[in-house]
Amino acid sequence: MFGKYYRIILILLFLSMPLFLLGNGGPVKEAGIVGTGNIVLKNERNISLVTEDLDITLHPDDVSVTVAYKLYNRGRQKNVSYGFPVDYYQQMAMVQGWQNSYVRGYTIKINGRTAAYSEHSESKPIKTDKTKGAVMRRWFLSNLLFKKGYNYINVTYMVSAYLSDWENSKSPTRIVSKRAFSYSMNPAGNWGYGRVKKLKVTIDATEVFSRGIVLDDTLSPDYKKKGGRFIAVFRNFVLIGHDVDLSWDISSLYARDPGINKQHGHNDNQQDRQNSGPHR
């Protein structure tokens, strides 16, 4: 009889153990970025995407992105509304809603001239993740003047990688999550007929490799490794339905380097980052 009750008590204690463990710890660093995407606009059949050069440079906690588009306008000169999307989780343990630190240094140029932009967040989720909740979208919006013939758009920015690090107050060991970044090709499918004649993608992992960080094997065989960079060239490429999904494990960096600043995830003596970059 007592054995049955003891078993019940042991089961209850076992089930409650995670609550005791989490009671003395919690998140210390988070960024709820789901991913970014290609340029978007209303369906413009007269403007086709000729080439796209996508460069993605990986840093321990961030990603630098540079994109160069060559487009052809078969019609008259016209103003076109352009949008660059950034998706993020509405609710994290430490942060809620959009954080200005998620995207830094955003610039857009058309035909060599810097264009103005405004920011706008959609009021309703674009989707709901079963484990992480609502995914919201923020837009960086511009009104661009397209001349007849060839036009060139350049977009640059730095974005936080998705991360969620935790610590236990009784232990100096940090539970470091993998960093993740996703780049959706879908939005640019609204240019012309959703194809690009030539797409070049470069993913520059030189910095993370130099610091002993491991990049997960998510790239297709189309990518050829050259030093710390992965390069792929696609022709007559269908943009819709193809994303670039990357993840990398920085846990060895924390285990090896006690000088890491735990508030920012960077070494106190870290040099300025190098620019470079991407995937499919």
Residue type, 20: F
Q: Which residues pair with 234 in a beta bridge?
A: 199
At residue 270, the pLDDT reads 35
CA distance 13 to 126: 40
Asked if pLDDT for residue 130 goes beyond 70, the answer is yes
Q: Which residues pair with 157 in a beta bridge?
A: 65
The residue among 105 and 169 whose pLDDT is bigger is 105
Asked if pLDDT for residue 207 goes beyond 60, the answer is yes
Q: What is the pTM of this model?
A: 0.77
CB neighbour list of residue 183: distance below 8 Å, 6 or more residues apart: 35, 36, 37, 38, 54, 56, 65, 243, 244, 278, 279
**Per residue in 242-263, pLDDT tens?**
788 999 998 887 766 544 544 3
Give the strand pairing for 179-184 and 33-37: parallel
At residue 257, the pLDDT reads 58
At residue 35, the pLDDT reads 66
The residue among 186 and 76 whose pLDDT is bigger is 76
At residue 194, the pLDDT reads 77
Residue type, 175: I
At residue 42, the pLDDT reads 58
For range 201-213, the mean pLDDT? 94
